[in-house]
Copies of this chain bind each other. A is one copy, B any other.
Amino acid sequence: MSQSADPKLTRTSFQKGLDDLKDSLIEMSRKAEEAVELAVDGYRSRDPNKCQAVFELERQTNEDERAIDEIAIDLLAMQQPVAVDLRFITACMKINADLERVGDQAVNIAQRALNAITLPVTSLPIDVERMGTTVGGMIRRALDAFVSGDADLADAVLGMDDIVDRLNIDCYSSMVRKMKESPELAEQALDALLVSRNLERIADHATNIAEDVIYWVRGMDVRHGFAAKKLRSMQQP
Contact = CB atoms under 8 A, between A and B. Distances in A.
Contact of A79 (B77, B80, B104, B224): B80
Contacts of A104: 234
A1 interface: no
A59 B227 contact: yes
A63 to B, nearest CB: 7
Given A86-B76, A93-B90, A94-B97, A107 B231 contact: yes
Given A176-B186, A223-B62, A227-B62, A77 B80 contact: yes
Interface residues of A, number: 47
Interface of A: 55, 58-59, 62-63, 65-66, 69, 72-73, 76-77, 79-81, 83, 86-87, 90, 93-94, 97, 104, 107-108, 111, 176, 179-181, 183-184, 186-187, 190, 193-194, 221, 223-224, 227, 230-231, 234-237
